[in-house]
Amino acid sequence: MKLQYKKLALASLLIYRQYIRKGKQKLYLLSKRVFLISAKMAEADEQLTLLDWHPSPFTTRVRIALAEKGLNYESRQEDLSNKSSLLLEMNPVNKQIPVLIHNGRPICESMVIVQYIDEVWNHKSPLLPSDPYQRAHARFWADYIDKKVFPIGRLMWASKGEVKAASKKDLIECFKILEGELGDKPYFGGESFGYVDLSLIPFYSFFYTFETLGNLSIVEECPKIVDWAHRCLQKESVSKTLCDQRKFYEVLLELSRGGPEPKWSSVGSIDLTPLNS
């Protein structure tokens, strides 16, 4: 049944595009209606579960992608110090969140999940560009963000002295490079919110932590990145999904003290010594 609705949605989308090109208003409105109804029916049959943990920037990426596509899903909050048997079964290799379970089948790794969502629900809010070169370019930057922002930020909050000072410089340098890539565009991919924005914006929740533990002002160092983040926050899919910056800082302190919050193996200890540079 689900497949029939999907086929109907696809056919009506193609017809709708043709009528738009030909300028036949009544017919394109009709085919648009058929498309929206069949897409909803196809979606109603989908079962989506996200193995989640609210403060995680990685699960936040997935929640934003699901919100962009207007998909309903069940969010199951994981206790990372006592992982559920479902998580261990669905992600036996890395044993990490996020995992998206689509009709019983798991997809792991945040940006892999985002690409999957974009491919399966491709009728709405495309995240990756359609041009192969632009797609490769977007993947390059998402990969850069993955390799730099969290590892450097973590090193900054978990180290002392010279290492802390060096990682602070590296973090600023990384945001400056990202500012260069953003240039004068409203979003990384151009006029609309997309894949690279989605991979970076969850780290906006870290900004207060970076500023407090690194003794720096991101708005002074990299004003364009802050402007870009505020632009992204105007989108409901982002503003309703992001973890509050101060809440994130509190969670992090709690985690580093080994408090009641779940252990987050990648957090490391936090050095609260002020950095005088």
Ligand X SMILES: N[C@@H](CCC(=O)N[C@@H](CS)C(=O)NCC(=O)O)C(=O)O
Cβ-based nearer residue to ligand X, 114 or 226? 114
> For residues 110 and 209, what is the distance between their CA atoms, to the nearest angstrom?
22
SS3 call for 108: strand
Report the nearest approach of ligand X to the CB of residue 161 (Å).
26
Token pair of 219 as six digits? 């708005």
Cβ-based nearer residue to ligand X, 56 or 115? 56
Complete edge-to-edge strand list for the sheet that includes strand 74-77: 74-77, 48-52, 99-102, 105-108
Query: Between the CA of residue 244 and those of 28, 148, 174, 254, what are the distances in Å?
Result: 42, 22, 23, 15
Report the nearest approach of ligand X to the CB of residue 135 (Å).
19
Contact 52, 75 (CB under 8 A): yes
Report the nearest approach of ligand X to the CB of residue 266 (Å).
5
Residue with tokens 């491919």: 119
Contact positions vs ligand X (CB under 6 A)? 53, 56, 58, 80, 95-98, 109-110, 264-266
Q: Which helix (H) or strand (E) holds 48?
A: strand 48-52
Residue with tokens 């409105």: 29
Contact 129, 118 (CB under 8 A): no
Which residue lies nearest ligand X, judged by its C-beta? 96
Cβ-based nearer residue to ligand X, 199 or 237? 199
Report the nearest approach of ligand X to the CB of residue 108 (Å).
7
Cβ-based nearer residue to ligand X, 151 or 186? 151
Cβ-based nearer residue to ligand X, 56 or 209? 56
Report the nearest approach of ligand X to the CB of residue 31 (Å).
38
Cβ-based nearer residue to ligand X, 217 or 265? 265
Query: Between the CA of residue 246 and those of 55, 174, 213, 249, what are the distances in Å?
Result: 11, 23, 12, 5
Report the nearest approach of ligand X to the CB of residue 24 (Å).
45
